[in-house]
Structure formats: structure tokens, C-alpha cells
Amino acid sequence: MADLDDIQEVRKAGKLFYPEIKQQTPGFFLKGSGNYDWGMKNRLSQIFNPLTGNTLMLAFDHGYFQGPTTGLERVDLSVMPLEPYCDTLMLTRGILRSIVPGSTQRSIALRASSGPSILKEMSNEVLALDIQECIRLNASCLAVQVFIGGEFETQSVDNLSRMINLGNQYGIPVMAVTAVGKDMARDARYFRLASRICAELGAHIVKTYYIEDGFDTISSSCPVPIVIAGGKKIPELDALRMARNALDQGANGVDMGRNIFQSENPVAMIQAVRAVVHEAASAEAGYEIYLKKCGGRK
């Protein structure tokens, strides 16, 4: 049996993760995705821009466990003005059907797991959608929460595996979202463990968090694309720095919510994030864009 020390080992030999050597993906632009069928590759190309290899997903699925949280009280008024600037909308089917016009040109990452609200044990999730519904809604990607180390870890792993089996039948990528319990350490060791498990189970994309120390070991040991969640609202320049650092250390984009829709100027902020993700802008250059788009009104 594998021993716990194996996962605790970090940089014993200094270079075990080789973050400076990019993983090769012959025949396709996206990490680890060269062996998929046409439909899967095409859907991934609707999420990740083939020219930059990156994505700006706008996450506003929080209502599935938080209700009308700050910034999402009126999705029609607060989020829809951001739609032209992102690549992908990450949301629930309820908001998709009730608010988003069918004419949108943005790809759809559909929240496919659900369960308890913030009032209860959050890891007790189940699958929320059947695959026919995902096809009907023209999803380019299905998002399933995975609670490694959580109370209902196995159930969430089963949710992920079942959705991957269904997604693979129809060529729809599945994004595993690594959820961290309140009392768990948010460090490189944990995110390496969670991200790699999701990839080993067959997730086509892994969503995780950026951390200052050792993010490059998380991305280099995960054989499929990683996107980062934004997490709690922080000052705009710090959020842009986080995005820049994550991209420089191997992420293929952001799936950012609160740091965009809770910004003092969300339309300016999403354009700044876009410059960082797709135009290789520095965080400082992104912040200049933010200030300029604010037009003196932050």
C-alpha cells in the first residue's frame, strides 16, 4: 500500500516536478488533450482560445449553494454586462434558462453537481443533471465539485467519475472543481493531491486555487489544464497579480467570480483580467486598463 510519506514529499531532489519543462501535447494546443476525439477537442477550443491557449471563464454559479450572494442579487443587471468580455459562462441551468439569451456566443460551463446549502455539510453533493439535459443546453463543459479529504469524499469522487463516463460518451469535457473544507490547509501539498486525483480519474480540466508557495508544482504534476478560482474578493491589483502569477506558473486561465462581479467596477475589471489572460499583460498593465476603463470612477 502507498505510504502517506509519498504524498508528503515535496522537493526532496529539488527538481522532482520540473516546472520549467513544459509537458508536450502533440497534435493539439491544449495540455494533455491530444488524444481526445473531435467533438471533445472542439468543445475545449470553445473554452480555451486556441491562439493564446488560455481561458477567461466568468464564474457565477455561487447561487446553487449561497442563494443571491453579494454581486449576484440581480444576475441580469450585474453579470450580463460582463458577458461580451469572457470566453465562457460558468453557471447553473436555472440561471442559463432564465437570464442568458440563447443567442449568446459565449461557451457554457454548466454546474452539474449540487447538494447542501452553506447551512449544512457541503461535501454531501450529488449529480444535478442528466447528460441529455447537458446536450440540450449545448454545454461545452460540465463542472463537478470534488471534496478530497471531505466527509463525503468518495461520493464526490463517484459524482465526478460518473459525469466523466457520460461526458466521454458524448464528447463533453468535465471540469473537476477542487473544494476545500473550512478546516483544511490550503497548501501546495493539498492542491497537488486533489488536482492530480481529479486528473487521474479522467477530468478534462481541473479548477483549483492559486497559492503563493509551490503553485508551479501543482500545475506541473497535473497532466491536464488547470484554471484558478478567484476566491474571496481582494483589491483589484492583487487579483490581477494572482492571475498573472498563476498563468506564469502553468495555469491555462481563470474561472473567476467574486473578484470580477464584486469589483467596484466589474466591467472595467473583466477587461483588465482579459488583458492579463489573453494579451500577456502584466498585473500592473492590467491595473492601468482597469483605471482607464473606470474613467475616474472606481
- The answer to whether residue 62 forms part of the interface with ligand 5RP (CB under 6 A) is yes
Report d(CA 272, CA 162) in Å as an integer. 37
Region binding ligand 5RP by CB under 6 A among candidate stretches 1-9, 196-204, 223-231, 265-273: 223-231
Distance of CA 86 to the CA centre of its chain: 13
- The answer to whether residue 177 forms part of the interface with ligand 5RP (CB under 6 A) is yes
User: Which residues in 111-150 contact ligand 5RP (CB under 6 A)?
Assistant: 145
- The answer to whether residue 71 forms part of the interface with ligand 5RP (CB under 6 A) is no
Nearer to ligand 5RP, 9 or 238 (CB): 238
- The answer to whether residue 236 forms part of the interface with ligand 5RP (CB under 6 A) is no
Q: Are 230 and 256 in contact (CB under 8 A)?
A: yes
Q: How far is the CB of 145 from ligand 5RP (least distance, A)?
A: 6
Nearer to ligand 5RP, 166 or 229 (CB): 229
Task: List all residues 6 or more positions away from 59 whose beta carbon is below 8 Å from its beta carbon.
Answer: 90, 229, 230, 255, 256, 257
- State which of residues 82, 90, 95, 164 lies at the interface with ligand 5RP (CB under 6 A): 90
Catalytic residue among 207, 232, 233, 293: 207
Site string for ligand 5RP, 38-57 (x = CB under 6 A): --------------------
Nearer to ligand 5RP, 36 or 128 (CB): 128
Long-range contacts of 199-202 (CB under 8 A, 24+ apart): 199/32, 199/223, 199/224, 201/157, 201/160, 201/161, 201/164, 201/176, 202/161, 202/164, 202/168, 202/174
Nearer to ligand 5RP, 216 or 255 (CB): 255
* 12 included as an active-site residue: no
Nearer to ligand 5RP, 131 or 227 (CB): 227
Enzyme catalytic residues: 207
Binding positions for ligand 5RP, rule: CB under 6 A: 59, 61-62, 90, 145, 177, 229-231, 255-259
